[in-house]
Amino acid sequence: MIAPSVLAADFANLQRDIEMVNSTEASWLHIDIMDGVFVPNISFGLPVLKAIKKYAKIPLDVHLMITQPERYIKEFKNSGADILTVHIEASVHLHRTIQKIRSEGMLAGVALNPHTPVESLKEVLNDLDVICLMSVNPGFGGQSFIPGTYDKIKSLKKMIKKAGSSAKIEIDGGVNIQNASKLKTAGADILVAGNAIFKSDDPVNMVSMLKKA
Ligand code: DX5
Ligand code: ZN
């Protein structure tokens, strides 16, 4: 599945860009929420998510790069999130946070920074719908892919199989047409791509190409 990241869209023409994504083969729309504390950048918040929801025809995959994300689970549900992903590094009571996300009727995701080992998810594998492996340090679009991600995907895939979990592996950061096929071979299920899609000359075709890669 391909999930275009709105962070690379033209914020002055959000409706146009979301409608463009509606016309592609994308499965989810990826939305990056940054608080300027967990990551050194501020993106946008709940009112913008609500505005996106009005036009998007595919599920909203909301990636929270905020500290103590458990404080805002209901608010994100009410603003249109379908999948809600929190960072393992930002939520002390991760198990409870995951339960709360699911009890609000959303799919639950956990994201791991590049330095966080996949083994840290062992005890919650069967409670998760999505595991987002960051392939850049979160905070900005347009960074270079970290090659160590391939081995992380392979290890995580093995852990998921062994646990009998149905969690999907999502890769976020520096994904492009050069690495998409290798990521899929390694075991990735969902590819998030911002710049590769929105800054391409033909974003609709780029989504198809990434999907076929
Ligand atoms: C980074 C964000 C990513 C970002 C990816 O902190 O989580 O979703 O938008 O952008 P690209 O694909 O341009 O690296
Ligand atoms: Zn993201």
Give the ligand with the smallest distance to the CA of 7: 1
Tens digits of residue pLDDT in 106-145 = 999 999 999 999 999 999 999 999 999 999 999 999 999 9
Taking residue 103's Cβ as centre, other Cβ atoms within 10 Å add up to 12
Domain count across the chain: 1
**109 touches ligand 1 (CB under 6 Å):** no
Tens digits of residue pLDDT in 161-173 = 999 999 999 999 9
Q: Supply the range of the domain harboring residue 180.
A: 2-212
Mean pLDDT by 10 residues, the chain (213 residues): 98 98 98 98 98 98 98 98 98 98 98 98 98 98 98 98 98 98 98 98 98 97
User: Which chain residues have CB less than 5 Å from ligand 2, an ion?
Assistant: 32, 63, 172
> In ligand 1, which atom is closest to the CA atom of 197?
12
Q: Which residue from 65, 135, 195 has its CB within 8 A of the most atoms of ligand 1, so it is best to mutate?
A: 195
Q: Which two tokens stand for residue 178?
A: 């050069």
CATH number of the domain bearing residue 11? 3.20.20.70
Residue 10 to residue 110: CA distance in whole angstroms: 27
Taking residue 176's Cβ as centre, other Cβ atoms within 10 Å add up to 18
Please give the model's pTM, rounded to 2 decimal places.
0.98
Is 17 catalytic? The answer is: no
Structure confidence at residue 64 (pLDDT) = 99
Compute CA 79 distance to the chain's CA centroid, rounded to the nearest angstrom: 17
Diameter over CA atoms, the chain: 46
